[in-house]
Amino acid sequence: MIQIQNSLQAADLQPLLQKFWELSGQKIKNIEQHYATSQGSPVFTVKGQYTTRGWTEWTQGFHFGSAILQFDATGEIEFLEAGRQKTVAVMAPHVSHIGVHDHGFNNVSTYGNLLRLMYEGKSPYNEWEKNFYELALKISGAVQASRWTTTKNGGFIHSFNGPHSLFVDTIRSCRALMVSHQLGHVLQAENDIKINLLERALQHCQATAQYSVYYGEGRDSYDLWGRTAHESIFNTRDGNYRAPNSQQGYTGFSTWTRGLAWAMCGFAEELEFLQTISDTELLHFGGRSEIEAYLLKAAQATCDFYLAHTPVDGIPYWDTGAPKLHKLGNYLDQPADPFNNQEPVDASAAAIGAQGLLRLGKFLKNKGQTEAGNTYWQAGLTVVQTLLQEPYLSTDPHHQGILLHSVYHWPNGWDYVPEGSTIPYGESSMWGDYHIREVALYLHKLNNQEPYYTFYNCVQ
Q: Which residues does the annotation place in the binding site?
A: 102, 258, 262
Alpha helices by DSSP H, listed for 161-320, are 174-182, 197-207, 257-274, 279-282, 288-308
**Using N-to-C axis directions, what is the helix angle for 197-207 and 127-145, rounded to 10°?**
50
Judge contact between 314 and 383, C-beta under 8 A. yes
Rounded distance, CA 319 to CA 227, Å? 11
Judge contact between 142 and 180, C-beta under 8 A. yes
Judge contact between 347 and 403, C-beta under 8 A. yes
Compute the Cα dihedral for 92, 95, 99, 100 and give only its sign. Answer: positive
Q: Exposed, middle or buried by CB within 10 Å (0-12, 13-18, 19+), for 221?
A: exposed
Rounded distance, CA 85 to CA 214, Å? 43
Of 128, 119, 109, 84, which is closest to residue 457 (Cα–Cα)?
A: 119
What residues does 244 pair with on adjacent strands?
A: 232
Of 353, 340, 331, 442, which is closest to residue 17 (Cα–Cα)?
A: 442
Enumerate the known binding-site residues for substrate. Answer: 102, 258, 262
